[in-house]
Amino acid sequence: MTADDVREAAAALAGHALELPELGHAHTVAAYVSVGSEPGTLALLDALRARGVRVLLPVLLPDNDLDWAAYAGPDSLVRVRHGGKMALLEPAGERLGPEAVGRADAVLLPGLAVDARGMRLGRGGGSYDRVLARLERAGADPALVVLLYDTEVVERIPEEAHDRPVHAVVTPSGVHRFH
C-alpha cells in the first residue's frame, strides 16, 4: 500500500469506528497506537479524545503483559524499543496498572486477522490474550473490537483453548459483527 492508501484507509476506518454505538456511548476506551503496517489509529484516538472519551493506551511490560496510561494527545507519546522488537509509541503519563483495562467500556484490539466466528489472530506475544483473560476474570464485559484491513477478515484461523471471540471488526469498508 502507498502512503496515501494507508492514510485513506486510516481515515475510513476511523469514520466507521466512530459510528459504532459502543464507542458513541463509551466513557473510557482502551486502544493502542498502530505500528508498522497496521491500520492507522491516531486519527481515531484523537477523535475519541475530542469527544471527551478517556483513552487508555498500553505500556508493554518486560513479561509481555500490558500496563495502561491515559492518552493526552500525540505529544504525550514516546517511542520505546523493547529488546529486539519493533519500537512502540507508548503514553508517557502515570501508569494505571494492568487492571485499569477493566474500567473500559470498549477495547480496541490489534490483530493480524479475524475469522467469520470472531476469533482473532494476534502477533503471538500473548499480551492481548492476557488482557482478555483479565477482563473475563474481573467479570468485565466491554465491547471487543479489532481494527483491520479488509483482506485480514478471513474465513477461518487456528484457535487455541485460551482464545476468546471479539464482538466486531472494523475495516476501511465497514463494520462486521459476530454473534
Q: How far apart are CA 113 and CA 119, in angstroms?
A: 8
The answer to whether the annotation marks 122 as part of a ligand binding site is: yes
Q: How far apart are CA 132 and CA 36, in angstroms?
A: 23
The answer to whether the annotation marks 36 as part of a ligand binding site is: no
The answer to whether the annotation marks 71 as part of a ligand binding site is: no
Listed residue (176, 174, 151) closest to 166, CA to CA: 176
The answer to whether the annotation marks 32 as part of a ligand binding site is: no
Q: How far apart are CA 65 and CA 106, in angstroms?
A: 19
The answer to whether the annotation marks 76 as part of a ligand binding site is: no
Phi, psi of 154 (to 5 degrees): -120, 170
Q: How far apart are CA 131 and CA 121, in angstroms?
A: 14
The answer to whether the annotation marks 127 as part of a ligand binding site is: yes
The answer to whether the annotation marks 77 as part of a ligand binding site is: no
Q: Tell me which DSSP letter residue 119 carries.
A: B
The answer to whether the annotation marks 126 as part of a ligand binding site is: yes
CA dihedral over 154, 45, 80, 4, signed as positive or negative: positive
The answer to whether the annotation marks 15 as part of a ligand binding site is: no
Q: Pick out the residues of the known binding site for ATP.
A: 120-128
Q: Pick out the residues of the known binding site for substrate.
A: 33, 38
Q: Pick out the residues of the known binding site.
A: 33, 38, 120-128
